[in-house]
Amino acid sequence: MTTRFDVLTIGNAIVDIIAQAEDDFLVREGIVKGAMNLIDTDRAEHLYAVMGPAIEASGGSAANTAAGIASLGGRAAYFGKVADDPLGTIFAHDIRASGVHYATRPLNGHPPTARSMIFVTPDGERSMNTYLGACVELGPDDIDEAVVAQSKVTFFEGYLWDPPRAKDAIRLAAKTAHAHGRNFSMTLSDPFCVDRYRDEFLELMRSRTVDIVFANEAELKSLYQTAAFEAALEALRVDCAIGIVTRSEKGCVVVTREETHAVPAHPIEKLVDTTGAGDLFAAGFLFGLTNGRDLPDCARIGAMAAALVIQQVGPRPREPLRAVLAEEGL
């Protein structure tokens, strides 16, 4: 079948509301620093009322990855559920304007489009408080199997494992991808997400439902319930075809059953906001992978994309990554 897209991503379609905050604010409001905290309607309304001046930007982990791939010059598609409401309209406009194919039918009625209140502390760490809203309605009917079949890699965010119907959607996408000789990929998303679904994530990997896995160091250790990084890395090597582990300023490690590649972090001038770092790393890596680059180059492109986004506020690049890629000789 004809390849129409390099990467299809599937995730929670969320509008981010981003504000600066001090650490004592997080303590006062009972917010777990550096994590994604799922919240209900009342909590969402409270946090919105007490947060300082904020900016709104279309987000969601997998959507950010799709936007990053398009910014690099790749062909990207996205599945994610919004409601037919003002925030849903903003989200759809923004992702299409970034060059991503997006045709998921919006939800007509309640619940409303998801939103995440993100508090960025002076050290650049972000703490997310997410009301999933319409995201929970994503199901198998939202999987366009033709788009999956026409995508070299389909990638989903671990956060999406929270809504029950999404699990059926993801399994359908994986079955379709493999039926057409395509690869299926996931990111573990968050240590707390791993804690909730450790056994299910491992089953996805060991059953070969998932071929390519992205994690940061904390997520990897949580997955294998060990404080020993090397032991967790060896387990990852066995459980998937390609494993990619990001380690912040230490760079990243890419493993297959036969290979290990350690790649340093890309230098930055100033850390501003870590929102989107992992999303853009995945974008760069998958862009490289689907365009014939070797694994170390894939990691270098991912590191470059992540380095750019953490030097700004917000999870999506403000300048075309394709131009930066050329400047960096990648």
Identify the pLDDT of residue 274.
77
Phi, psi of 54 (to 5 degrees): -135, 160
Identify the pLDDT of residue 295.
97
Question: What is d(CA 177, CA 290) in angstroms, rounded to the nearest whole number?
Answer: 14
Question: What is d(CA 57, CA 303) in angstroms, rounded to the nearest whole number?
Answer: 23
| CATH number for the domain that contains residue 80 | 3.40.1190.20
Question: 73 lies in which domain range?
Answer: 5-327
- CA-based torsion, 243, 139, 63, 95: positive or negative: positive
Which residues are CB-neighbours of 9 under 8 A, at least 6 positions away? Answer: 62, 63, 65, 66, 69, 76, 77, 78, 79, 154, 155, 156, 157
Closest CA to 10 of 181, 191, 140: 140
Tell me if 181 sits within 8 A of 135, measured CB to CB: no
Closest CA to 78 of 167, 172, 1, 11: 11
Identify the pLDDT of residue 273.
73
User: Which ranges constitute the DSSP H helices of the chain?
Assistant: 23-29, 41-50, 61-71, 86-97, 145-149, 164-179, 191-206, 217-224, 229-239, 277-290, 295-309, 321-327
- What's the distance, CA 169 to chain centroid? 17
**Per-residue pLDDT of the chain in tens (330 residues, 90 and over written 9):** 789 999 999 999 999 888 999 999 999 999 999 888 889 988 988 998 899 898 888 888 999 999 999 999 999 999 999 999 988 999 999 999 999 999 999 999 888 999 999 998 998 888 989 999 999 999 999 999 999 999 999 999 999 998 789 999 999 999 999 999 999 999 999 888 999 999 999 999 999 999 999 999 999 999 999 999 999 999 999 999 999 999 988 999 999 999 999 999 998 888 887 778 999 999 999 999 999 999 999 999 999 999 998 888 777 787 888 888 788 777
Tell me if 136 sits within 8 A of 111, measured CB to CB: yes
Antiparallel, parallel or unpaired: β 114-120 and 76-79:
unpaired
Question: What is d(CA 111, CA 137) in angstroms, rounded to the nearest whole number?
Answer: 9
Q: How many domains does the chain have?
A: 1
